[in-house]
Amino acid sequence: MTTTTDPLTDPELLQTEWDLEPLVGSEGEAGVDRRLAEASELASTFADAYAGEVAQLDGPGLVGAMRELEQVHELIGRAASFASLRFSTDEADPARGALLQRMQEGVTEIERKLLFFDLEWAALEDERAEELLESEGLDFCRHHLRSLRRYRPHLLSEPEEKILSDKSITSQSAWGRLFSELTSALRVGLDGQELTLDVALSLLQSPERDTRRAAAEAVSSALEPGLRTRSFIYNTLVYDKSVEDRLRSYPHWLASRNLSNEASDESVMALIEAVRGRFDIPQRWYALKARLLGIERIADYDRAAPVLAEEVTFSYGQAREMVLDAYDSFSLEAGRIVRRFFDERWIDAPVRPNKRGGAFCSYTVPSVHPYVLLNFTARRRDVLTMAHELGHGLHAALAQPQGVFHQSTPLTLAETASVFGETLVFERLMAAADSDERRLSLLADRIDGAIATVFRQMAMNRFEHLVHTRRRGEGELSADRISELWTESQAELFGDSVEMTEGYRVWWSYVPHFITTPGYVYAYAYGQLLALSVYRRYRDEGESFVPRYLELLAAGGSLSPDELAAIVGIDLSDPGFWDAGLALVEEQLTEAERLAASTT
């Protein structure tokens, strides 16, 4: 399916702008300030009632306290979501930046008042805590309370926790915001135009190698001028994390992330080692891709190239209908929910100057609804990205009844619904393909996506590991040193199958996850392999699987990852689980090799 519509001027796309007013009762900025003020007052009242008294609570008292906290988090969530989502669509607007900062400072002050509760709850003896957790009426927060106690060995005193909370505004939050503003303001000069970074990167999917090469060189040139500043930001945040890890007695740089993901160090290391041990899969694919593209060896800028010469594009309307059709066919309930995102202005899709790059789904608060941000450039990849983010949206919407404490899942399960939804649309595209050449082209896109999500993310995890451990051992790392570590981790992934250009060595410097969520990236691989296993069960069981899958999503984060996966018959404790997921990716590669042999 091809459209001649310019994705930047598509009238339907340009009208796709989200309405954030439901978050603040149509009060705009004043609604943010009012909710923060109300939350602050409630937090003060809560502290007056419960500070120093948590150990004395009985079951009904704990239920009552958690209901009061729920009200505070609801108000904070509405204010924070409005300010951050509004900022994400124009990160150069001073007024939006000022509102974001005001919100962050207000939220920090409120959280400072409430710190005592988590500390006192964690300090309870295990026997007493378990007795309270069995109390009637705690379903809305029981797993949350149990999870909080896992942090017991890493919590500081209340005064120390308050200092760290206060300083976060001028440390992690401030540096992260600066990095985001710098990258969103980047302009890539190409063919006399000044492109946003997302638009320039989308050109790496062009069928013309000269276009891909020119885009890559232009991106590298755009990244160079601010490289030293972004390197300093990264150094500062990596050191800041090392200090906090030391204060909290975390044994290694990834330990805090594993704890928040409810994943053991052993299970994460098993995942990392399993994926790194199969880097032969991407290397085998890149060798095949070079043959399909008619070149001896692909370069880094060729990795996303289509294997068919034609460039397949989609209008926003075509993409929407394809995604809706896929979700409707899977489940009418799922389709109904996804349709609301389009009909009720829950999506912001156009590419705009100073808009945050990439795509995401924000859960916001259970009493409103989720929002999706896209940067739609009409590529086939954008259709799958739409399906991916709406999978997150479906997950968030189904889990709304769980409330503020249980709506979200750990990162390790957060990708399940998104990858599942993306796979639904991919299968729809495959079924519509009218030749082996088209099927091979689609399969190539799918393998590219799996490699980006599983293997490339694990190479990024390796890069982060090298940066965090070297920073702790060597001191501040120069931009060249960080680039060396990036090159080292990428070389392990590519082997001899990909030529790395000189400019590619600085491409680490626009990746937001390294800055805002250190250690995040392995969760992509975790989620992708889990979602592929879940999809295989759907493929094997058919319609009977659908209710259990929707039950999994509706459970949100009310259970542990092991318990959630068990709903759909997945055993995360099985040591062979990761190998089974990787085998699914290899199956796709083997099929691509078969199709390549029959079409060349």
| Domain range list for the chain | 14-170
pLDDT at 470: 97
Phi and psi angles of residue 360, each rounded to the nearest 5 degrees, phi first: -160, 165
What per-residue confidence (pLDDT) applies to 103? 96
Residue scoring higher pLDDT (163 or 235): 235
Least confident of 59-68, 267-276, 464-473: 267-276
> Residue 165 has what pLDDT?
82
Q: What's residue 167's pLDDT?
A: 83
- C-alpha to C-alpha distance for 589 and 600, rounded to whole angstroms: 16
Pick from 275, 219, 183: nearest CA to 515: 183
Longest Cα separation, the chain: 75
pLDDT band for position 8 (cuts 50, 70, 90): low
CA quadruple 166, 172, 174, 177: dihedral, nearest 10? -140
For 535-542, what is the mean pLDDT?
A: 90
CB atoms < 10 A from the CB of 49, how many? 11
Q: Which residues pair with 310 in a beta bridge?
A: none
Residue predicted with more confidence, 310 or 443: 443
Whether the pLDDT of residue 190 is over 90: the answer is: yes
| Average pLDDT estimate for 486-494 | 97
The tens digit of pLDDT for each residue in 194-243 reads: 998 988 998 998 989 999 999 999 999 999 999 999 999 999 999 999 99
pLDDT at 264: 87
Query: Are the C-beta atoms of 422 and 452 separated by less than 8 Å?
Result: no
Q: Is the pLDDT of residue 174 over 90?
A: no
Q: Report whether pLDDT(430) > 90.
A: no
Q: Does residue 436 or residue 54 have the better pLDDT? A: 54
In this prediction, residue 311 has a pLDDT band, given cuts at 50, 70 and 90, of low
C-alpha 345/C-alpha 373 separation (Å) is 11
More confident residue, 168 or 122: 122
Question: How sure is the predictor about 598, in pLDDT bands with cuts at 50, 70 and 90?
Answer: confident
The pLDDT, as a whole number, for residue 334 is 97
Average pLDDT of span 167-172: 80
Q: How far is CA 157 from the centre of its chain?
A: 32
What's the pLDDT tens digit per position in 14-50? 889 999 999 999 999 999 999 999 999 999 999 999 9
Q: Which pLDDT band, with edges at 50, 70 and 90, does 532 fall under?
A: confident
Average pLDDT across the chain, whole number:
93
Fold that domain 14-170 belongs to in CATH: Butyryl-CoA Dehydrogenase, subunit A; domain 3 (1.20.140)
In terms of Cα–Cα distance, which of 291, 312, 227, 199 is closest to 482?
227
The region, left, alpha or beta by phi > 0 then psi within -120 to 50, assigned to residue 350 is: beta
Would you say residue 527 has pLDDT above 90?
no
pLDDT (0 to 100) of residue 584: 87
Position 538 pLDDT exceeds 90: yes
Structure tokens at 540: 């094997």
pLDDT tens string 135-162? 999 999 999 999 999 999 998 888 888 8
What is the share, in percent, of the chain residues with pLDDT greater than 70? 98
Question: What integer pLDDT is reported at residue 193 of this predicted model?
Answer: 92
The answer on pLDDT for 106 being more than 80 is: yes
* pLDDT for the residue 292: 94
Q: What is the pLDDT of residue 126?
A: 93
Output 105 or 573, whichever has higher pLDDT. Answer: 105
Contact 85, 20 (CB under 8 A): yes
Check whether 600 has a pLDDT greater than 60: yes
The string of pLDDT tens digits covering residues 314-353 is: 899 999 999 999 999 999 999 999 999 999 999 999 999 8
Of residues 450, 470, 442, the one with CA closest to residue 584 = 450
